[in-house]
Amino acid sequence: MARRLPPMNTLRLFEAAARHGQLKVAAEELSLTPSAVSHGVRTLEQWLGIALFQRTPQGLRLTAEGERYASLVRESLTLLSEGTERMLGAQAPRRLAISVPPFFAVRWLLPRLGEFRTLYPDITVLLDTSQQQVSLEKGDADLAIRMGRGDWPALVSDLLFRERLVPVCAPPLVEQLRFSPMEVCHIHLRTVNEEWQRWCEATGHPLPAPERALFVDTLQLAYEAASSGFGVAMGRRPLVDTELEQGRLVQPWQDSVAVETGYWLAVPPRRQHEPVIALFRDWLLQQKPTAQQQ
């Protein structure tokens, strides 16, 4: 029985356009002109007799039929590509695109990534540290490290670790905190301003006065301000462990409080057994801190 298949090249053009939502970006990836990609997509739509995209001033938007067909085409092209590589027995260049929060990348992942590169020197690692959450389902990255509760229904999520809140400051401030804690500036994250309240409620310490607070945008800035003697910040272990081990920061109080959120490795179910992804996933899960280290 003869198979009804559209022109194969139009499928490749459609998949790239669907993934990027922009003809220009898809064209750059394929080393073509935007008009060539547009012509290929329209050829496919005419062959199917179905509108796959809505054209808007902001770019391309998949129709409901386009969403379903894009998923099918992407999976089919992936299977065809993997099968071709196995058939030829060729070791094609291997790459791994990882979406990761910037602070986590600097503090936890990068110090360990050298080991992975030593074990697998043929795998090129690309780190995306943009604040915007990428779509793994659409192939914007191969896998992601995300902060949250792990409740992403469309993804397989492995817990790396949960954090513990611990106040930190420069060593010279410890004595002052012992005698007049409310007189010392407390450093708050503007984006997560309930950390101090959560820690104080759990430990029985008085809540810092807001008029003596410094509000900053990032954990990095909070730690830098604390280590320079500006005040006491709410640290997150194990991401603050480097400063604690080096003595740049100390814990004025030993009370620590666990938080519900954690860092998770997330990957689409259909891709979790791909060789490169499986290698990185297995390696990363071996780097998980033990309960004593958290």
pLDDT of residue 291: 46
CB distance 164 to 259 below 8 Å: yes
Topology of domain 8-88, CATH: Arc Repressor Mutant, subunit A (1.10.10)
* CATH number belonging to domain 94-162+261-286: 3.40.190.10
Which tokens is 41 given? 């997509």
Give the integer Cα–Cα distance in Å for 179 and 104: 35
The residue ranges of every structural domain in the chain are 8-88, 94-162+261-286, 163-259
Which tokens is 175 given? 């004595």
Please list the rounded mean pLDDT of every run of 10 residues in the chain (294 residues): 79 90 86 88 91 85 91 88 67 80 90 89 89 77 89 90 92 80 80 82 85 85 91 90 91 89 90 90 82 46
Q: Look over the chain and give the mean of its residue pLDDT values, rounded to a whole number.
A: 85
Decide the pairing of beta strands 213-216 and 186-189. Answer: parallel
Give the integer Cα–Cα distance in Å for 183 and 204: 18
pLDDT of residue 259: 86
Per CATH, 94-162+261-286 and 163-259 having the same topology is answered yes
Which tokens is 258 given? 């666990």
Topology of domain 163-259, CATH: D-Maltodextrin-Binding Protein; domain 2 (3.40.190)
Compute how many other C-beta atoms are within 10 angstroms of the C-beta atom of residue 35. Answer: 10
pLDDT of residue 97: 92
Say which residues have a Cβ less than 8 Å from residue 287's Cβ, sequence separation at least 6. Answer: 112, 160
